[in-house]
Structure 1
Amino acid sequence: MNPNATDRSPLVVWGALAIVYVVWGSTYLGIGIMVETIPPMLGGSMRFLTAAVLLGGFVLARSGRQAFRMTRQQFLGACLVGVLLLTLGNGMLAVAEQYISTGLAALLVASVPLWLVIFRFVVRDRPRTLTLAGVLVGLGGVAALSLTGGEGASTVGIVVVLVASLLWAVGSFLSSRIAMPPNTFATSAVEMLAGGVGLAVLGAGLGERLDLSAITGRSWLALVYLILMGSLVGFTAFSWLLGNAPISLVSTYAYVNPAVAVLLGALVLSEPVTLRIIAGGVIILIGVALVISTERNRSQVSQSPGEGVDRGVDVRLGVLRGHEPQATRNHVDSPVE
């Protein structure tokens, strides 16, 4: 964290945190409205390609072409992560929201930090006992939501969003273990470009067609909101917070976003919020909170002068990546942003 972070106005910090809370929590609603009349894959492609151009232009204007200096291996690494996070993770989330409520999707996506802990266990980076307990609690909530779903929930939609969360976790896990470009913003631009191209190819291959005459103004507004607020404003606020606020405070959005998504879905789309959904969601968030708090304490104890710790939480999902001797890398979007 920036050594001058303690000098930052609490009002500014909480303002930026409020943006991350509300904007990223609202992207589930934005996706739900977008896919009402825009094919999910092609809509996601337009979103990320436009955001990539805007972000890339900003980086070029601010830092020049040197910001995009990267090796072939770093470029391909960013492209791979972009495809996993955005083409497969975010794209499948958009598909799932055609069948299940935005609130239920948000709660299932909140399970991503749990998958990351499982991946770490597989590669013999053994988490603490409390971390594993959090995983078991959280997966119990996922199972409860998956088996009960809620009124009108589609089994297909639930399966698709769980696969999307798993692929997002794979991309997040790999991002701290493969070569990536040194500039965070340039990395995000490349990821969005690769993800957008992948969505266009996948959408066209699956038979999606863009009928401009059938798209409502409501869906266009949702798409613009996702581009400007979800992919650019939210990302900028989150990146600023990582350098100017304690990671323990920043990481709280991992449990606030799903609550915001459920509330907005109920208020705007009149989505049903049953006791089963509330109970399953609370169980998931308790598990995620236990994982994040335990791993945060582990990072603080383990870090010593001259030794870096990956303190990052994946943008949009704020996914904990655990204890890594690498610089923090932030991604512009989670399956939802």
Structure 2
Amino acid sequence: MGHNATDRRASLLVWGALGIVYVVWGSTYLGIGIAIESIPPMLSGAIRFLIASALLAGFLVMRSGLSVLRMTWREFRGAAVVGVLLLTLGNGMLAVAEQYVSTGLAALLVASVPLWLVVFRFVVRDRPKVLTLAGVLVGLGGVAMLSLTGGEDAGTVGIVVVLLASVSWAIGSFLSARIAMPANAFAASTVEMFVGGLGLLLLGSGLGERLDPSAVTGRSWLALAYLILLGSLVGFTAFSWLLGNAPISLVATYAYVNPAVAVGLGALVLGEPVTTQILVGGAIILVGVALVISTERKPRQAAEPGGVPAEPAEPSHEPDGEPAGPPAVRLHADSALD
């Protein structure tokens, strides 16, 4: 009886955390879209990540002492490079693009990140399975369909910028598995968010972005607070917990649930049009991503009585909870570029 109760509790915790990742990360695209209504896109990201990194660092120091943030210069440099690729360039370009494309379309294009990761593996002569490559071809076909027919509100510039953001995110995810990184994933995330936020501050200011607090609406401030507290902290904490307590194959499902959540929220809250092209192209991308993830997944042990398969998760260095790659390539969350 006690064993079954423990199993049920573990299963509920896993599904509760997964639900947080599904909804919170899927909603960050909407959050970004509302924040940039009256806050310059790059500066909104700078504020978000600098505050989130300070909060995370403070939490880590209070809980474990200053030693938790100790790392070598090589590890700091690795985390800094990843932070620039994921957040300064990846997230920054996503925010800029959402000025021109719907939040739902942006999320569907970002869902292509796992496909780019497989392409990079192929380039460095790490031969993926045939079905993995088939998934990539299917998914990129969906990307091409969205890029060519997009949606009524989709500007060509916005689509190109989202795709560049996705490639930058994929490069950062790809490199993070191959360069020296801090051993503690939370410490790595602190550095990534700090350096990524600083990069956005410098880039945004250099490109002429200026923040006028009096011009910022309460709606945008609330969206920014949501992105900091829920998108960057709660979502990431839930994701990190899942990595150690749930099978990677289950955690990886966020890669194709988040875009569906984003499209739904964009339509409900912002009244964004959901065209046939978006539905069909998005579905094709998600089929490709699902094929890649399911093919890359290695066989694991059978499920435990509580309903959660006994499959160990591999560690990951994640900036703040934004989605990216399939498990065997390296499971990466901001979502979400979000």
What TM-score comes out, normalization by structure 1 length? 0.91
Deviation string, structure 1 residues 221-253 (Cα, Å, up to 9, x no partner):
000000000000000111111111111111111
SS in 2 for 1:135: helix
User: Which residue matches 2:3?
Assistant: none
Find the aligned partners of 1:37 and 1:138 in 2 and give their Cα distance: 34
Alignment of 1:255-334 (within 5 A): 255-297=256-298, 310=314, 312=316, 315-320=321-326, 322=328, 333-334=334-335
SS of the residue 1:297 aligns to: coil
From the superposition, tell whether residues 190 and 161 of structure 1 become closer, same or farther in structure 2 (CA, over 3 Å): same
Tell me how far apart the structure 1 counterparts of residues 239 and 67 of structure 2 sit (CA, whole Å).
Answer: 24
User: Does the C-alpha gap of structure 1 residues 316 and 161 become closer, same or farther in structure 2, counting only changes over 3 Å?
Assistant: same
CA distance in 2, matches of 1:29, 1:309: 29
Distance 1:236 1:110 in 2: 21
Question: Does residue 203 of structure 1 match 2:204?
Answer: yes
The correspondence of residues 1-337 of structure 1 with structure 2, limited to 5 A, is: 8-297=9-298, 310=314, 312=316, 315-320=321-326, 322=328, 333-337=334-338
Contact 1:248 1:296 survives alignment (8 Å) = yes
Give me the whole-angstrom Cα distance separating, in 2, the residues matched to 1:156 and 1:98: 10
Query: Would you say the 8 A contact 1:313–1:320 is kept in 2?
Result: no
Deviation at 1:87, TM superposition (A): 0.3
What's the CA shift string for 1:178-234, capped at 9, x where partnerless?
A: 000111101000000000000000000100010111100000000000000000000
Q: Deviations over 1:21-78 (max 9, x none)?
A: 0000000000000010000000100000000000000111111111111110100000
Check 1:280–1:134 CA distance in 2 against 1; reply closer, same or farther (3 A cut): same
* Structure 1 contact 16–241 (Cα < 8 Å) conserved: yes
**In the aligned structure 1, how far is the partner of 2:174 from the partner of 2:9?**
31
Q: Secondary structure at the match of 2:297?
A: helix
Percent identity between the two aligned chains: 72
CA distance in 1, matches of 2:315, 2:13: 21
- Where does structure 2 lack aligned partners over 5 or more consecutive residues? 1-5, 302-311
- CA deviations over 1:114-142 (Å, ceiling 9, x no partner): 00000001111100000000000000000
Contact kept? 2:169, 2:324, Cα under 8 Å: no
Q: Aligned AA for 1:56?
A: A
Q: CA deviation at 1:264?
A: 0.2
Tell me if the contact between 2:113 and 2:167 (Cα under 8 Å) persists in the aligned partners: yes
Following the alignment from structure 1 to structure 2, what is the Cα–Cα distance between the partners of residues 186 and 60?
A: 10
Q: After TM superposition, give the deviation of residue 335 of structure 1 in Å.
A: 4.9
Query: Helix, strand or coil for the counterpart of 2:328?
Result: coil
Q: Quote the Cα distance in structure 1 between the aligned partners of 2:180 and 2:315.
A: 18
**Number of residue pairs matched by the alignment:** 321
* Aligned mates of 2:167, 2:200 — CA distance in 1: 18
